[in-house]
Structure 1
Amino acid sequence: MTPQQISLVKSSWAQVAPISQQAAALFYGRLFELEPKYKALFKGDMKSQGKMLMSMLNTAVASLDRLDTIVPAVQQLGQRHVGYGVKEDDYDTVGAALLWTLGQGLGDAFTEEVEEAWTIAYTTLADVMIEASRDVAA
């Protein structure tokens, strides 16, 4: 990622973070709309799940300029998701739900440049998770 893209992700996240609870609800609502079967993967309290998601995103965004510091945690997350039944193509659906949620939360501030920056950030982290999940599945 370029420094400009990192800056776009960080500044846009700063606008979403104050409404993180609503953003999490929007995200999961959209995720389940795109793929209703995912509801079965979430057996716990969705409010707590939303808090974990937002916390993870907060950490990831804060670490974009030093990804090496979070790669081990992202790899572990990818490995854990194998146990939840997550498949490689599920990451595309999650990415689509995330981008949609950001678009809802940011409105007109969700420009093409911001969307591209978020797409690169998500793809970078998802690729690490997918690669780690292959290690478990092998």
Structure 2
Amino acid sequence: MDKQILEESLASVGLPDDGLTVRFYEILFERYPDVEPMFQRDNKVQAAMLRTAIVSVIDNLDDGEWLTTNLESLGQRHAAMGVTAPMYEAVGECMIAAMTEIGGDAWTPAMTREWGEALSAVSALMLAGYPHT
């Protein structure tokens, strides 16, 4: 993963008031309405938490131990909420759709590729935290 592309592209789609993550949830709920009941009623709070998580992951991209510990723990919490593996794919799809929409002509295939790789890696680490039965 190219940390510089991830940081620069995230900065390029950063909107005030967590606009990127707010738009992400709008797209997610439009495309996958069945998941909406799993989220808090106040989507702005959820959007702020997601933005903080994204920034934390990017900030710690070079710290494998931090990523493993924190993302597996986050995965455990998501498993307890009933989040399934296919939902992670939907999240990645909708996050990239929001970024592409906001980025407009400035959004590049390289940005899509790097974010696809990053979101897949995050998903894998989170799913590693799921209980094994």
The one-letter amino acid of 2:68's match is V
What are the residue-to-residue correspondences of 1:84-99 with 2, within 5 Å?
84-99=81-96
Alignment of 1:1-138 (within 5 A): 1=1, 5-19=2-16, 21-133=18-130, 136-138=131-133
Greater share of helix: 1
TM-score for the superposition, normalised by structure 1: 0.89
Q: Cα 1:20–1:110, aligned 2, differ >3 Å: closer, same or farther?
A: farther
Contact 2:40 2:46 in 1 (8 A): no
**Which runs of no fewer than 5 residues in structure 2 stay unpaired?**
none
Query: Secondary structure of the equivalent of 1:49?
Result: helix
Q: State the one-letter code of the partner of 1:40.
A: P
- 1:137 shift after superposition: 4.7
Q: TM-score, normalised by structure 2?
A: 0.92
Identity of aligned residues (%): 26
For 1:47-85, what per-residue CA distance to the aligned partner results, in whole angstroms no more than 9, with x for missing partners? 111100000001111122333322211111101001111
Report the RMSD for the aligned CA atoms in angstroms: 1.4
